[in-house]
Amino acid sequence: MMAALPGRAFSLAIYGLSVLVGVAAFAYPFLLLLRPAGAPPGDLDGGSTGLLTALLVVLCLVAVLVEVQGQAVSARMVAALGVLVAVASVLRFVETAIPGPGGFSPIFVPILLAGYVFGARFGYLMGVLSLLVSALVTGGVGPWLPYQMLVAGWLGASAGWLPHPSRPGLELGMLVSTAFAWGLLYGFLTNLYFWPFFAGDNLMRWQPGSGWQTAASHYAAFYLATSLVWDLFRGLGSGLLVLALGLPAVRAMARFRDRFQFAVEPGRA
């Protein structure tokens, strides 16, 4: 049945499945609210996260194989993906060796810019694989990894859906704003994985059996108290990096894309 699907439809199905897996993973704490009061949060930090990581890696590898078979020039684009993932991983290694303020990390800027230039599917793959490879390089593997991979992938994909204004000022402002917004969103989403294990103030705790509105208000209070300032440094740092280097990097990537990306028409020599 899968072989009968057109290559593009199968590729989109793979990406769609990845998104569904991610949505289910982040909604897990809220789905657990249906359990009786006093029930434990479950195995969020055990084998389930390892399984989630493996599933994401497999889906990304399948997506890459589909892309390679579906486009005549995609082998070069896959090579470009590998180079950009390596660059992002080096940036995270530098960040680990010389920590920045708060949650600032330079790794999100190349993911954003690559997604903007090469498209949503490329950006998604780069985000997921960059966080995976950089975690292996820096020893940052843990129950948080699949959630970080998912959000980084969504960052890259969303960049591919941005408009491309002709005025450089508008383009730069859009990219800076997106970098800042995702600096906050990254922390807001990834914190969901360990919120059920928070044992602090009752007004911020995950409580099984509580309603959705109560849970949402508790998580908002939890995020504001524990992560907002940390994430502001990430957003501001990413925005400043894009402000300084964004347009030259976009122009360089665009020249590479235009040089190697073409379509082969049937019946043409």
Return the pLDDT at 159.
94
List, for residues 215-232, the tens digit of each pLDDT value.
Answer: 888 888 889 988 899 999
Of residues 102, 99, 45, the one with CA closest to residue 227: 102
Which CATH class for the 12-260 domain?
Answer: mainly alpha
Residue 56 has pLDDT above 80, yes or no: no
Which has the higher per-residue pLDDT, 158 or 8?
158
Q: Supply the Cα-derived Rg of the chain in whole angstroms.
A: 20
Tell me the average pLDDT across 219-247: 91
Residue 258 has pLDDT above 90, yes or no: no
First to last CA, the chain: 32
List, for residues 76-94, the tens digit of each pLDDT value.
Answer: 777 888 888 888 888 887 7
Of residues 21, 32, 22, the one with CA closest to residue 212: 32
Each domain of the chain, given as residue ranges in start order, spans: 12-260
26-35, 36-45, 173-182, range with greatest mean pLDDT: 173-182
Report the interhelical angle of 145-160 vs 7-31 (nearest 10°): 130
Per-residue confidence at 38, pLDDT binned at 50, 70, 90? low
- Backbone dihedral region for residue 9 (phi beyond 0: left; psi -120 to 50: alpha; all else: beta): alpha
Q: Please give the model's pTM, rounded to 2 decimal places.
A: 0.83
Return the pLDDT at 1.
41
Of all helices (H) and strands (E), which one includes residue 22? helix 7-31
Exposed / middle / buried, residue 159 (Cβ in 10 Å: 0-12, 13-18, 19+): buried
- Buried b / exposed e across 13-47, counting CB within 10 Å, b at 16+? ebbeebeebbeebbebbbebbeeeeeeebeebbee
Task: Report the mean per-residue pLDDT for the chain.
Answer: 79
Report the interhelical angle of 228-260 vs 74-97 (nearest 10°): 150
Q: Are 233 and 102 in contact, with CB atoms under 8 Å apart?
A: yes
Instruction: Please count the helices (runs of H) and the strands (runs of E) in the chain.
Output: 9, 0
Per-residue confidence at 175, pLDDT binned at 50, 70, 90? very high
Which has the higher per-residue pLDDT, 144 or 46?
144
Q: Are 111 and 86 in contact, with CB atoms under 8 Å apart?
A: no
Tell me the average pLDDT across 41-59: 63
Return the pLDDT at 207.
73
Which range among 83-97, 109-123, 168-182, 232-246 shows the weakest confidence by mean pLDDT?
83-97
List, for residues 117-129, the tens digit of each pLDDT value.
Answer: 998 888 988 998 8
Residue 178 has pLDDT above 90, yes or no: yes
Other C-beta atoms lying within 10 Å of the C-beta of residue 160: 18
